[in-house]
Amino acid sequence: MGFDTIIANGRVATAADTYTSDVAISDGKISALGENLPRENATKVIDAAGRYVLPGGIDVHTHLDMPFGGTTSADDFETGTRAAAFGGTTTLIDFAIQYKGQTLRTAFDAWMQKAAGKAVCDYAFHCIITDLADAQLDEMNALVRDGVTSFKLFMAYPGVFMLDDASIFRALRTTSKNGGLVCMHAENGGAIDVIVQQALAEGKKAPKYHALTRPTTAEAEAVSRAIALAEMAGAPLYIVHLSCNEALEKVREARDRGLPVYAETCPQYLYLSLDNFDAPGFEGAKYVFTPPLREKWHQEKLWNGLKTDHLQVVSTDHCPFCFKEQKELGLDDFTKIPNGGPGIEHRMSLIYSGGVAGGRFSVNRFVELVSTTPAKLFGLYPRKGTIAVGSDADLVIFDPNRKHTISAKTHHMRVDYSMFEGIQVTGMPDVVLSRGKVVVDGDKFTGRAGAGEFLKRALYSQP
């Protein structure tokens, strides 16, 4: 049998096992696994000795080319997916936003247009619902049939994205029947708005007040309410960008009761804290996103949640805005700073470095958090998220010992700062393949805009 490529002698790591094996690729799929596969039958051989071969990363929370706060996130589907590939992420799930008065289909079509011809690796969409009449309940069923099998709802941003509890409950009842998954932005937007208005009236307008007006209790209350609504509806629930221990405790309690509740956290909550707002001048704006950064002690609680499966996924919530001109829209008022930070490129290295090199969990747990569980929850498994015969050859040759200092000077995201500037990671992707094609080779990009395909996803399944 002829192979297009053999990745030879690597340590294959999946969520279940670590073993030395060649990985053969034919027509974009993994076609054989085993030691000493016949090199003479391969068009190309890549030596992976001394390195891991991992399934490509799956980032289930990105915002490319997203309008927000009078501007648009700085990475589009080309620059964003390219930066993702440099970091070992070969699949992402972005969010198509339904604005008030629109159909869900309009949102989906608009985001399909944004990605078409640009994405360098595969992508899918969740649909953000901001306006939920009876017609949209039917549309949710139609989108699920078309492979958009998850929906993001907001309990924050009143008047913009926020849905009331009745609408949230109706959406959850719909997914309980159609097999989809609701992803919840859980913060009590009403209470937060009152606190924000008071801060502004007191002249507290610097970036740090974005964080100080969004207490952990507002997140924990919303997580708890979302869980209660999902339980009443008989639906599974996925909490996005969980940032603090109080919210984690609510997820843990629900899971201990056997409820199908899942949560992701993001590298910023594991590496950054309120201390970042001590940066001089307006620099704190670089860390304005929601939920906000928390006191430092939460970080270890979240790492522990990842280790013990109280948290199941690490995504990035990549939503980049340049410091110059975009973050600066809020120079005089933190409520005008576009919310979001850049992270798509460094998720794999940050989590490997802090998790595996840092001695907190195994390489298999790492793969589970950044690839396998995302694939299972969001209907991509086993096409994505593992290394098995028949799976897409989305693969990362990962050097567990290579050190790298993160900097805006060297990153590939189209944004003029890094949230993680100066942080040294241990563990970097050397070679990245998307459906069998090498898209990143060291510091060279060898992929192609438009090579990425839209992924019609199956229904959520329990990881």
347 binds, among ligand URP, Zn ion, none (CB under 5 to 8 A by kind): none
Residue 22 or 317: the one with the smaller Cβ distance to Zn ion is 317
Of 191 and 331, CB closest to Zn ion: 191
Residue closer to Zn ion, measured from CB, 291 or 436: 291
- Cβ 290 to ligand URP, closest distance in Å? 4
Is 214 a binder of Zn ion (CB under 5 A)? no
Nearest to ligand URP of 89, 290 (CB atom): 290
- Helix then strand then coil, in percent of the chain rounded to 5, is 35, 25, 40
The reply to whether 340 sits near ligand URP by the rule CB under 6 A is: yes
Of residues 89, 290, 299, 316, which one binds ligand URP by CB under 6 A? 290
The yes or no reply on residue 210 touching ligand URP (CB under 6 A) is no
Residue 393 to residue 433: CA distance in whole angstroms? 7
Tokens of 32: 């054989």
Q: What is the Cα–Cα distance from 287 to 273, expressed in whole angstroms?
A: 9
Pair 61, 102: CB distance under 8 Å: no
Binding segment (CB under 5 A) for Zn ion, from list 22-30, 218-226, 309-317, 415-423 = 309-317
The answer to whether 124 and 164 are in contact (CB under 8 A) is no
Task: For ligand URP, give the closer residue by CB, 157 or 445.
Answer: 157
Sign of CA dihedral 380, 386, 391, 397: positive
Tokens at 340, concatenated: 């979001």
Residue 245 or 339 having the CB closest to ligand URP: 339
Binds ligand URP by CB under 6 A, chosen from 51, 82, 126, 185: 185
Tell me how far CA of residue 441 lies from CA of 378, 424, 428, in angstroms.
29, 21, 12
How many CA atoms, within 13 angstroms, populate the side-chain half-sphere of residue 52?
A: 28
Token pair 């805006």 is at which residue?
A: 408
Closest alpha carbon to 54 in 92, 13, 25, 6 = 13
Q: By CB under 5 A, tell whether 185 contacts Zn ion.
A: yes
Minimum CB separation from ligand URP for residue 195, in Å?
17
Scan for tokens 């997820």, then name that residue. 251
User: Could you give the dihedral angle defined by the CA atoms of residues 79, 109, 134 and 92, in that order, rounded to the nearest 10 degrees?
Assistant: -30
Give the integer Cα–Cα distance in Å for 73 and 254: 34
What are 215's two structure tokens? 């207490």
Nearer to Zn ion, 78 or 317 (CB): 317
Calpha distance 316→63 (Å, rounded): 10
Taking CB under 5 A as the criterion, the residue among 59, 94, 219, 317 binding Zn ion is: 317
In this structure, are residues 226 and 184 in contact, taking their beta carbons and an 8 Å threshold?
Answer: yes
Q: How many residues bind ligand URP (CB under 6 A)?
A: 9
Among 317, 345, 394, 430, binds ligand URP (CB under 6 A): 317
Least distance to ligand URP from the beta carbon of 66, Å? Answer: 7
Q: With CB cut-offs between 5 and 8 Å by kind, which of Zn ion, ligand URP, none does residue 340 bind?
A: ligand URP
Binding partner of residue 411 among ligand URP, Zn ion, none, CB under 5 to 8 Å per kind? none
* Interacting residues with ligand URP between 57 and 96 (CB under 6 A): 63
Site residues, Zn ion (CB under 5 A): 185, 317
Site residues, ligand URP (CB under 6 A): 63, 185, 241, 289-290, 317, 319, 339-340
